[in-house]
Structure 1
């Protein structure tokens, strides 16, 4: 039975890896082809044309990568500051209207994106926030904040108040209780929420296009014209770059979490 279960787990893992990596194969082939007319799966000839263009000084790819990462990091930091007290209140306290507040917070991921974006765009025009990085950052908070709150609510939901009460009885102040009791417990939620927040921010095209007004250029802004029929080869190359940014962000957050737990385990062993 043990060997059968092991083989089943290995088989399921391999199936998941195949399903995840299979869509990347045509993208990889297309990114290194001279041209790849539909519906061909194998290119007629190979070329670095897409990569030469993408990393040329005129393409603006480098600036778009820096802008995309910068906006995603700022959005994630603001989300974290807003989500920690919100998730704490929604998970560990009971108060009137709690369900309505949750419904409002989750509305951006339930209501069709086009509806919320158009209302946001009109409001930002009146406030003079369009065509600026600051406006794009504020706009990215709406679709990404609910994921951060949800991830932290799961962590806060298993915390309770007992450990904090014990810390208070031992003389720990509010900041000390948060630093040594709350923060270590919710760290997995912070990492998970940060990963989701960065992915959602990195992938925003419509919000960035409308609020940024073409002045704030991110990777999706560069990718979309090629993906919509301009040049599938360059679109494939940009898609691989975007996938690399997303994977790099998740890998970095995973490294931070692993380093933290290794440090904790070394401290406990001492």
Structure 2
């Protein structure tokens, strides 16, 4: 008998008999429950954010995510978006997935069942007690993730987790668990749905709050974003136009010269008028 919420039977049945409109409406009704479940976990998320900020700011530490399947992909996604969004090093937030990067596109058989592989994978990054490790697993039972968290804790690291079952083995193994219980999935056991959405919301909160507290946002602007395409250059120009009250041509010229919204603002924001 399985008592895990993520594996409980869907509240809906005979899905194949529903019209397209009914399917979409019912999936949407289930999705509406997710942010309310996340809200209940805000105190847990707050603790992890503050621990990560402390380790990065005071100990030159890093944030690691480990997961398998959808959970692993979401961790890698969040980590990969930090450099372009906040202008930080690719080595500051690191996401690892069971089975390696090839598992991002295609499932790797049995990769999540190895209890020792996560810690081996983390060794390649010289992980230490200055770092924070967050394990992600909807079920809270993934051996790859639990094994990595246990080994990290034994080695003096701060550990957290994001899971969708209360009182799971992963929560018990983690020092600072985040539990977002979203209830049974629309398709029974399909944790890529509500559970995955909840994990994405928590990861958004976690990395964004950390970066804001580390000073990577000015006002409400991504002043450290990488100017890697025309859209982002245009966004940077708009920021400068609004902040410095200058023309688009001048903003473009300054960005071309200094290659950074923050640098331009630091140089010209408080510059005394002649």
TM surpasses 0.5: no
Instruction: Compute the TM-score of the two structures, normalised by the length of structure 2.
Output: 0.33
When you count strand as a share of all residues, which structure comes out higher?
2
Instruction: Compute the TM-score of the two structures, normalised by the length of structure 1.
Output: 0.33
Task: From the CA coordinates, give the structure whose radius of gyration is larger.
Answer: 1
Give the number of the structure with larger relative contact order, counting CA–CA contacts within 8 Å between residues 6 or more apart: 1
When you count helix as a share of all residues, which structure comes out higher?
1
